[in-house]
Amino acid sequence: MTIHGNVHGEGSSKKNGLKIGNKLKVITAKTSLMALGVTFELCAKYVPEMKNEISDWEDGRNVGIGVLPTGPYITVRKDGEKFTYLGSGLQDAEISILFKNLDSAMMIFLGQLGAADAVAENRVCVQGQNYMAMQVTRAMAIVQTYLFPGFILRNTFKRPPKLNGQQIATKAKIMGLLTPKLIGASFK
Amino acid sequence: MLPDYYEFICPVKVLCGRKALSNLPYELKQLGASRPLVITDQGVVGAKLMDKVKAAFNDSDIEIAAIFEETPPDSSNHVVNEVAKLYQQNDCDSFVAVGGGSVIDTTKGVNVVVSEKTDDLLKFQGVDRISAAMQPFIAVPTTAGTGSEVTAAAVISNVDAGHKMALMSNKLYPQVAIVDPAMTMTMPAKITAATGMDAMTHAVEAYICIQKNPISDAYASAAIKLMREYLIKAVEDGSNDEARLGMANAALLAGISFSNSMVGIVHAMAHACGGVAHVPHGVANSILLPFGMEYNLEKVPQHISLLAHMLGVEVSGLDEKQKAEKAIEKIRQISEKLNGLCGLATRLRDAGVREDQLEQIATVALNDGALTYNPEEADYDDILKLLKAAY
């Protein structure tokens, strides 16, 4: 049997519901990725663990993160001691961490699944060298530590980070700077 | 507890048992192939195993189009490109890999180069980067073993960049694996022990790591039970065909298991020991396995405790943690027994690792993808501590 035309019927709430659901996922993914990109910048500036982690990365490394098959994507670039959020798209990324679909991406962005479990469940595909993927994963863990509240970290990390007083203050600073940075980044 | 979601694949047709090799021409024909390139190494040639492969074609109308016998122990992109040229010059239409992990991985790499019409494997590093249909490929393992005949990965050194490339794709699976115990009969005792412990590590890590699933557990469990029965026997008496068949099966089952549930900290450290200090993979795994299990004990005692049953340890009346400790003790006992039988190293220093290499090994291990799948988190200090304990 072949079904022609609009399966759900013109103007049906189910069809519109599907569309709205998907649109919301795309908006959430775009916002989450932007927040990730901006927090990479902030962590490189204010978080000693991040400075240490990227100290032996080569300058000019572009890191792509995004959602297959059609995005959204972002790229961050490492130069010296800093990360620069380059904006949307995969811009000559040497290493890309890509979610296979929006549903998989949502699980991470909404704190339902940790990075290791996302990899274990084959929800992620890596383009690039293995050792770079591991370095980026560790950097992303630092970003998530300063982006997510504690209860999400306890559910999604194999060994939830325990922040000392200094680190908690840094996290508060990053949270305070995030919104204005996001507004600026939305124009990239 | 079941995982929320998992994936499992094993598309390889397995022919396993006595005289399995005689089916090689038939299987090639089923794949539409008539001009295979046979890829092997000097070890296989020296053990006269290539004579068995050639003999399999005696009553067949298929002719081996070309043979490459120079695969090095650590394969590289240069070797892959050289073999690809041989394939094209001889108008080959299929591959037969006869050897251990390096030979099979080289063949996988050549298949990518030939099928994707490229000379740059670098573009295909990572996961699911290969899109072209691969040429027919039959693997004939001569060790028991790496399980490469049933895995979706190939690790090949990039000589120019100075690091190893990992390619992972379901397209890398051979269509057929011919597991004939006669092809492992000539393995010396120490290599039998080392490759056997490699298979043991595959099964154990597959059973406890975070990608484990009910299907891979079944394969891991079956593999461990076979190794409990046959590993020591195969080392004690290489002419014991039942033991050789048992170990060939065990390595195959362990390979299917870990290809679908990955490995963890033991392999991360073993890969690094191989890269930095040139410790053979099976030797490194054998040394590091009990230390890796101890490291994960607090995190997954429930999984490690079940290994005790599979290893044949008497555990009645013991609690979960005690059972897990017994399992680790049994692994140590097996290592000690193998050390007594054939000198298989039980400490890193006895495998040629220098103390001043441990920090570099820890740094390399930290960047190994296998660490992602380990149940317990591990940072540089954790890994260094383990390496020092194993030293």
Residue B122 has pLDDT above 90, yes or no: no
Q: Do B127 and A117 touch (CB under 8 A)?
A: no
Q: How far is A17 from chain B (nearest CA, A)?
A: 26
**Residue B251 — pLDDT band, cuts 50, 70, 90?**
very high
- For residue B127, the model assigns a pLDDT of 82
Chain A residues touching B373 at Cβ < 8 A: 116, 119-120
Q: What is the mean pLDDT of chain B?
A: 95
Which of A116, A119, A127 is the closest to B126 by Cβ?
A127
- For residue B95, the model assigns a pLDDT of 98
- For residue B296, the model assigns a pLDDT of 98
Q: Do A129 and B369 touch (CB under 8 A)?
A: no
CATH class of the domain defined by A13-177: alpha beta
Mean pLDDT of B95-100: 97
- For residue A174, the model assigns a pLDDT of 96
Which of A122, A129, A157 is the closest to B7 by Cβ?
A122
Q: Do A120 and B373 touch (CB under 8 A)?
A: yes
Query: Would you state the torsion angle of the CA atoms of residues B113, B119, B123, B128, taken in this order, to the nearest 10 degrees?
Result: 0
**Residue B209 — pLDDT band, cuts 50, 70, 90?**
very high
Chain A residue closest in CA terms to B125 = A128
**Number of alpha carbons in the 13 Å side-chain half-sphere of residue A117:** 16
- For residue A20, the model assigns a pLDDT of 54
Instruction: Using CB atoms within 10 Å of the CB of residue B385, give its burial: 0 to 12 exposed, 13 to 18 middle, 19+ buried.
Output: middle
Using the Cβ of B93 and the Cβ atoms of chain A, whether some distance falls under 8 Å is answered with no
Q: Do A129 and B163 touch (CB under 8 A)?
A: yes
Chain A residue closest in CA terms to B379 = A138
The answer to which of B58-67, B151-160, B273-282, B314-323 has the lowest mean pLDDT is: B151-160
Summarize pLDDT for A75-134 with one digit per residue, the tens. Answer: 999 999 999 999 999 999 999 999 999 999 999 999 999 999 999 999 998 888 888 999
Q: Do A120 and B126 touch (CB under 8 A)?
A: no
Chain B residues touching A134 at Cβ < 8 A: 366-369, 371-372
- For residue A15, the model assigns a pLDDT of 42
* CA distances in angstroms from A10 to A7, A14, A58, B225, listed in the order given: 9, 10, 54, 60
* SS3 readout for chain A: CCCCCCCCCCCCHHHHHHHHHHHHHHHHHHHHHHHHHHHHHHHHHHCHHHHHHHCCCCCCEEEEEEECCCCCEEEEEEECCEEEEEEECCCCCCEEEEECCHHHHHHHHCCCCCHHHHHHCCCEEEECCHHHHHHHHHHHHHHHHHHCCHHHHHHHCCCCCCCCHHHHHHHHHHHHHHHHHHHHHCCC
- For residue A16, the model assigns a pLDDT of 42
Q: Which of B5, B260, B265 to mutate to test the interface with A (most CBs of A within 10 A)?
A: B5
Q: How far is B209 from chain A (nearest CA, A)?
A: 9
Summarize pLDDT for A146-181 with one digit per residue, the tens. Answer: 999 999 999 999 999 999 999 999 999 999 999 888
- Its pTM stands at 0.92
**Residue B145 — pLDDT band, cuts 50, 70, 90?**
confident
Which of A126, A157, A159 is the closest to B127 by Cβ?
A126
Using the Cβ of A117 and the Cβ atoms of chain B, whether some distance falls under 8 Å is answered with yes
- For residue B119, the model assigns a pLDDT of 85
Q: Nearest 5 degrees, angle CA B371-CA B376-CA B380?
A: 60
Using the Cβ of B366 and the Cβ atoms of chain A, whether some distance falls under 8 Å is answered with yes
Mean pLDDT of A129-141: 93
Give all domains of chain B, ordered by start, each with its CATH number: 13-183 (3.40.50.1970), 187-390 (1.20.1090.10)
Using the Cβ of B369 and the Cβ atoms of chain A, whether some distance falls under 8 Å is answered with yes
- For residue A19, the model assigns a pLDDT of 56
- For residue B164, the model assigns a pLDDT of 76
- For residue A130, the model assigns a pLDDT of 86
Using the structure block, give the residue that is written with the tokens 């930290």.
B366
Report the C-alpha gap between B279 and B354 in whole angstroms.
11
Contact map slice: B 290-319 vs A, CB within 8 A: 299
Q: Do A119 and B373 touch (CB under 8 A)?
A: yes
Strands A61-67 and B94-99: what pairing? unpaired
Residue A7 has pLDDT above 60, yes or no: no
Residue B291 has pLDDT above 50, yes or no: yes
Q: How far is A133 from chain B (nearest CA, A)?
A: 8
Using the structure block, give the residue that is written with the tokens 């811009």.
A91
Q: How far is B310 from chain A (nearest CA, A)?
A: 25
In chain B, the percentage of residues whose pLDDT exceeds 90 is 90
In chain B, the percentage of residues whose pLDDT exceeds 70 is 100
Q: Do B377 and A159 touch (CB under 8 A)?
A: yes
Summarize pLDDT for B59-80 with one digit per residue, the tens. Answer: 899 999 999 999 998 788 899 9
Chain A residues touching B77 at Cβ < 8 A: none
Using the Cβ of A122 and the Cβ atoms of chain B, whether some distance falls under 8 Å is answered with yes
Q: Do B366 and A122 touch (CB under 8 A)?
A: no
Residue B331 has pLDDT above 90, yes or no: yes
- For residue A1, the model assigns a pLDDT of 44
Q: Which of B6, B9, B124, B128 to mutate to test the interface with A (most CBs of A within 10 A)?
A: B128
